[in-house]
Amino acid sequence: MTALLNHFRLASLPPEAEAFREEVKDFLASHMPDSPPDVRARSWMGFSAEFSRAMAERGWVGMTLPQEYGGASLNAFSRFVLVEELLVAGAPVSAHWIADRQSGPLILKYGTDAQRRFYLPKICAAQAFFCIGMSEPNSGSDLASVGTRATRTDKGWRLSGRKIWTTNAPRCQYMIALVRTSGKPEDRQRGLSQFIVDLSLPGVTIRPIRDLAGDAHFSEVFFDDVELADDALIGQEGGGWEQVTAELAFERSGPERLYSSIMLLDHWIDCLRRSGDAEAHVAVIGRFATHLATLRNMSVTVTSQLVQGASPVVEAALVKDIGTEFEQSIPAVIEAAIAADPLAVVDADLYRTVAYVSQVAPTYSLRGGTREILRGMIARGLGLR
């Protein structure tokens, strides 16, 4: 057995995390907006600052951050339970999503004490929302070809370039951007650094991008000689590649990589239950349940490694790649099941939900690293490259 596969030892959520689950369910029962399934299917693209602040009042935004910064000092197991329940309910979580999952832990690990004391309490109070500045036009999945550049000035840094596919940029106060501070794009991973960019600064322009479903979550962000203070640099100059790799492990390891289509699956099963047609699809439902249970166990194992202080970059890539295949299979299978009986009356909510999920499902294997990138990482982890 390779070292990579040896890391996937069955782990389970501790009793205190399971007890926390009931608390989350009670919160959702009283705070979830009354929305149809096609709206709830947008869960981690659904933006509600009001909902995020209600969560923050319970201590559930930045919940793994230390109490001295406004966090709850809970571990990754509790966050796993919280995220799982939010996604299964279809809660609108995208306002605080990135700050909670990536930006806060990144600032805690690599930031200065002043950065921690300024940004982390705002994140925990859901007063500061963050977006990610990694992808660039004409680069595809080649993150190391970053061309956006920050140049030293007498007062700090001058930032110029462009980022794309930035989620919720018009609604966020800050971006953590990966940019080049030395060398050329041909230098690949060398000469990269991360900066916290205040998106209200002069020279920042945000242009929304509308997707196939008609939503405008993505944006293109332009930096035209944006003046950044010295303290905008996070971590070490030139250490951006190591930092962003660690950040991506947070993005790829969570249960959100399993549940993107869960609202559709749940509603389809509910429709079959009400129509009495479940028996005809019981084998398909059983396969979905088996795959989900296995993937969930793998995700819990990755979470247990995070709790132990490890950085399971390759393990998270494996879960994300297999999880994405599972998520993308659900709308295709349900579409085929509906099409197999063209004379049947289709539930209107089911029709709208499968239409939405089918439109956005191709993006599942793009966000957080494409399938080709992830499989390259897995191959290296298995010693095949």
- CATH code assigned at 290: 1.20.140.10
Tens digit of each residue's pLDDT, the chain (385 residues): 566 667 777 888 999 999 999 999 999 999 998 899 999 999 888 899 999 999 999 999 999 999 999 999 999 899 999 999 999 999 999 999 999 999 999 999 999 999 999 999 999 999 999 999 998 987 767 777 889 999 999 999 999 999 999 999 999 999 999 999 998 777 778 899 999 999 999 999 999 998 887 888 899 999 999 999 999 999 999 999 888 887 776 667 677 778 999 999 999 999 999 998 889 999 999 999 999 999 999 999 988 988 888 878 888 888 999 999 999 999 999 999 999 988 889 999 999 999 999 999 998 888 877 888 889 888 888 888 7
Residue 90 to residues 18, 250, 256, Cα–Cα distance (Å)? 20, 21, 11
Based on the domain organization, do 335 and 364 belong to the same domain? yes
Q: What is the Cα–Cα distance from 146 to 213, expressed in whole angstroms?
A: 29
Based on the domain organization, do 116 and 179 belong to the same domain? no
Tell me what pLDDT residue 308 has.
Answer: 86
Q: What is the Cα–Cα distance from 184 to 192, expressed in whole angstroms?
A: 10
Known catalytic membership, residue 22: no
Give me the amino acid identity at 128.
Answer: A
Tell me what pLDDT residue 30 has.
Answer: 94
Q: Which of 216, 239, 262 is the last residue of a domain?
A: 239
Tell me what pLDDT residue 2 has.
Answer: 60
Q: Concatenated DSSP letters for 342-382?
A: TTSPPPHHHHHHHHHHHHHGGGGGTTTS-HHHHHHHHHHHT
> What's the domain range around 286?
252-382
Based on the domain organization, do 228 and 307 belong to the same domain? no
CATH number at residue 212: 2.40.110.10
Based on the domain organization, do 119 and 182 belong to the same domain? no
Q: Which of 128, 156, 191 is the last residue of a domain?
A: 128
Q: Is residue 244 part of a domain?
A: no
Q: What is the Cα–Cα distance from 110 to 256, expressed in whole angstroms?
A: 25
| CB 159, CB 197: distance < 8 Å | yes
Q: Is residue 247 part of a domain?
A: no
Based on the domain organization, do 147 and 213 belong to the same domain? yes
Q: Which of 128, 147, 164 is the last residue of a domain?
A: 128
For residue 142, with 0-12 CB atoms within 10 Å meaning exposed, 13-18 middle and 19 or more buried, which class applies? middle
| CB 27, CB 345: distance < 8 Å | no
Distance from the Cα of residue 266 to its chain's centroid: 21
Q: What is the Cα–Cα distance from 221 to 4, expressed in whole angstroms?
A: 38
Based on the domain organization, do 266 and 369 belong to the same domain? yes
Q: Is residue 272 part of a domain?
A: yes
Based on the domain organization, do 350 and 283 belong to the same domain? yes
Q: What is the Cα–Cα distance from 351 to 183, expressed in whole angstroms?
A: 52
Tell me what pLDDT residue 344 has.
Answer: 87
Based on the domain organization, do 226 and 287 belong to the same domain? no
Tell me what pLDDT residue 253 has.
Answer: 64
Q: How many domains does the chain have?
A: 3
DSSP code of residue 160: E
State the catalytic residue, choosing from 84, 247, 251, 327. Answer: 251
| CB 28, CB 86: distance < 8 Å | yes
CATH number at residue 69: 1.10.540.10
User: Six-digit token pair at 44?
Assistant: 């981690």
Q: What is the Cα–Cα distance from 377 to 385, expressed in whole angstroms?
A: 9
Based on the domain organization, do 118 and 8 belong to the same domain? yes
Q: What is the Cα–Cα distance from 159 to 150, expressed in whole angstroms?
A: 4
Give me the amino acid identity at 90.
Answer: G
**b/e sequence 161-181, b meaning 16+ C-beta within 10 Å:** bbbbbbbbbebbbbbbbbbbb
Tell me what pLDDT residue 3 has.
Answer: 66
Q: What are phi and psi of 131, to 5 degrees?
A: -125, 170
User: Six-digit token pair at 188?
Assistant: 């690949």
The CB-side HSE value for 132 (13 A sphere, CA atoms) comes to 27
Tell me what pLDDT residue 216 has.
Answer: 84
